[in-house]
Chain A
């Protein structure tokens, strides 16, 4: 049996995603959990593990980009339509959604693989909402929101929104020099910051999560950008991302006979498969169902907020938070900070509302906790 070129790319993507799913399952790799550890326990270890993945992704991806092996200019992260409000508002909604849905898109896929049926329901709602926001009824809402707030960078003489292009064009300094400097400064700085925590340096699971996930992100760029390069049948250059692909996966499964598989779809399926296999082999497969009404309602809200917000901000904690950041683009920075803000605010609100505190009072307490006080 011979594989077509695109099938081979899909197969590589599936295998890398399986590694991702297994690693994330084993190490509890979770962005929301990382923020929760920070906000609720004052521990930044899990956040540093997450940053280690980001730093490695930046260094690896930029190495491929700056040496001309992977062309990032056609990716959504380097697009010239700079929808600042979409990144911020979408990211913020996503942050709220991942907190009440007990995990972001990636975490949800891992949980589905480990037998969590609550996450399966959330995933289906997320998929429908994401697809509706992409192509359906909610796309109208999305365009109403992003249309008036999008800055067209091409009109201002920029070829992409990459920091190298923006700074290089504005100052006249060589883009490669800027790219190398930013990679060393930002990527290297983040890795060093992450490794300053002894628990990150010395505990196997922390290193596995940080290094493993970082390499998975780089591998995805390598697969679509280098291995997928073909004069006649080029693969679209695409990184690891989960919201848009979850919507596409549902559409693909429902229209299978008339559809072709894409890289994003195999990432979704591979992540579930990797997590499932890990759970099976370690005996941790465990069916979980809804306990009560609010459990169901929270997961439904989580799915809707993440589906809509994730498409609006062009990515999730992984799509923008690590993959987008690895391309060094300002939109990814805005989206990521907004996701963190939405998540942190929701956790604080949950803490105060549990006291029976009124909404307005809870908002004030949250603001005083999260905003710099002096």
Chain B
């Protein structure tokens, strides 16, 4: 399992805020580093898949942990 370099707490945020904050967080990161995002919005699963697909940042993992959704994104 890849260890994340940065973490983003997007819990309790509604669409479109998790994506917006992830975009912001990635802006301040170096290429190749990994961001872990924790969210509670069920829509975020589909959103982060589309986000990775579109922006080229690799979605290393997308998992449901209890009532939360966790994502690992590697900055392109």
Give residues in A with beta carbon < 8 Å to B.
28, 30, 32-33, 36-37, 40-43, 45-46, 99, 102-103, 118, 284, 286, 288, 291-292, 295, 298, 347, 350-351, 354-355
Say yes or no: A347-B54 contact (C-beta < 8 A), given A40-B23, A291-B40, A354-B21.
no
Contacts A41-B51, A295-B14 aside, 4 further interface pairs with beta carbons under 8 A come to A30-B15, A41-B19, A41-B23, A350-B16
| Distance A347 CA – B19 CA, assembled complex (angstroms) | 11
The residues of B that contact A291 with a CB separation of less than 8 Å are 11-12, 40
Say yes or no: A33-B43 contact (C-beta < 8 A), given A103-B15, A295-B14.
yes
| Distance A102 CA – B44 CA, assembled complex (angstroms) | 12
Contact in complex: A298, B50 (CB < 8 Å): no
Contact in complex: B43, A298 (CB < 8 Å): no
Say yes or no: A40-B19 contact (C-beta < 8 A), given A102-B14, A295-B12, A298-B14.
yes
Contact in complex: B21, A28 (CB < 8 Å): no
Contact in complex: A36, B16 (CB < 8 Å): yes
The residues of B that contact A295 with a CB separation of less than 8 Å are 12, 14
Count residues of B near A (Cβ-Cβ below 8 Å): 21
Give residues in B with beta carbon < 8 Å to A.
11-12, 14-17, 19-21, 23-24, 40, 42-43, 46-47, 50-51, 53-55
| Distance A96 CA – B47 CA, assembled complex (angstroms) | 20
Say yes or no: A42-B54 contact (C-beta < 8 A), given A36-B15, A347-B16, A350-B17.
yes
| Distance A215 CA – B58 CA, assembled complex (angstroms) | 36
Contact in complex: A41, B55 (CB < 8 Å): yes
Say yes or no: A42-B20 contact (C-beta < 8 A), given A33-B15, A298-B14.
no
Q: Nearest Cβ distance between residue A118 and chain B, in whole angstroms?
A: 8
Contact in complex: B20, A347 (CB < 8 Å): yes
The residues of B that contact A99 with a CB separation of less than 8 Å are 16
Q: Nearest Cβ distance between residue B19 and chain A, in whole angstroms?
A: 5
Contact in complex: B15, A292 (CB < 8 Å): no
| Distance A351 CA – B26 CA, assembled complex (angstroms) | 13
| Distance A118 CA – B40 CA, assembled complex (angstroms) | 13
